[in-house]
Amino acid sequence: MILLDEGTLFFATPGGETLPLRADMIRIEISSQDPSFKELVDNAVVAVFHYFKRDLGRTVVTFGEFSLVLERVLRTLGVNAEVVCEETPDDNEIDLRRIAGRSYMNELVFFTQLRPAIRSAMEAVKPGAGDPVFLRFRGLRQCIKMICGVTRWNARCAELQREILEYINASVVAEAHGRRCILMVG
C-alpha cells in the first residue's frame, strides 16, 4: 500500500488510471482579477480535499466527484461556477504512468510514446540564458509494474527500469541540442 501525505488523494481517470494529486496541482481558471476571489477558490479546493480525505475517509475519488462537490461548495459561497478538474502537470514534468496507460501497457509502444513526450517537454521549457533545462519524470516504479503486469517488484522490473533510464538519458541527450539538462526521476 502506498502511504499518502496529508494533502494527497488518488484521482481515478476514465481510462482506469489513478493519479496521486495534491490540492495545488488542480488549476482553476478564474475570470475575476480580484486576488481575494482566487484565494476563496483555492480555499474551497483545500476544503473539498479535506472533505474527501478526512470526513469521508476516501483515498480515491474521480475527477467528476471532485468537480461536483467543488461546484456545490462554490455555489454555497455565492459563486456560480462550472468546475472541470483535470491534472495539470508542469511543462517540465512527464508522467510515465500516463504514458504506460496510453501505450496499453505494451513495452514497445511505451518507448515509441516516451520520446515525443520528452521532445515536447524539452521544447516547452524555456530556461534563461545559460540555465540548465530541468525535467521531472514521475511514476517510474508504478509505470514499470503496469508494463510488466505485476504488483510486486521482480527481476524483470529491475531490468525494465534500467532500460527506461538508459532510454530517457539517451533521448534527453539527443533532444538537448547542446543545452545542459538536469533530470529528476521518481
Residues 6+ apart with CB under 8 A from 110: 99, 100, 103, 143, 147
The reply to whether 1 falls in a domain is no
The reply to whether 2 falls in a domain is no
How confident is the model over 140-153, as a mean pLDDT? 88
Q: Report the chain's mean pLDDT, rounded to a whole number.
A: 80
- Amino acid symbol at 71: E
The 10 Å CB-count burial string (b at 16+, else e) for 114-144 is beebbeebbeebeeeeeeebbbbbbbbebbb
Which of 76, 108, 124 terminates a domain? The answer is 76
The pLDDT, as a whole number, for residue 81 is 67
The reply to whether 67 falls in a domain is yes
| Count of structural domains within the chain | 2
The answer to whether residue 89 scores a pLDDT higher than 50 is yes
The pLDDT, as a whole number, for residue 2 is 46
Of 99 and 103, which is predicted with more confidence?
99
The pLDDT, as a whole number, for residue 103 is 76
Enumerate the β-bridge partners of residue 137: 94, 185
How confident is the model over 77-93, as a mean pLDDT? 65
Could you tell me if 72 and 97 lie in one domain? no
What confidence category does residue 164 fall into, taking pLDDT thresholds of 50, 70 and 90? very high
Could you tell me if 126 and 56 lie in one domain? no
Could you tell me if 71 and 12 lie in one domain? yes
What confidence category does residue 12 fall into, taking pLDDT thresholds of 50, 70 and 90? confident
Residue 98 is part of which domain span?
A: 93-185
Which of 76, 106, 128 terminates a domain? The answer is 76
The reply to whether 72 falls in a domain is yes
Could you tell me if 69 and 121 lie in one domain? no
Could you tell me if 62 and 106 lie in one domain? no
8-12 and 18-22 strand pairing: antiparallel
The answer to whether residue 40 scores a pLDDT higher than 90 is no
The reply to whether 82 falls in a domain is no
The reply to whether 86 falls in a domain is no
What ranges in the chain are assigned the alpha helix state H?
35-50, 63-76, 96-102, 107-124, 140-148, 155-176
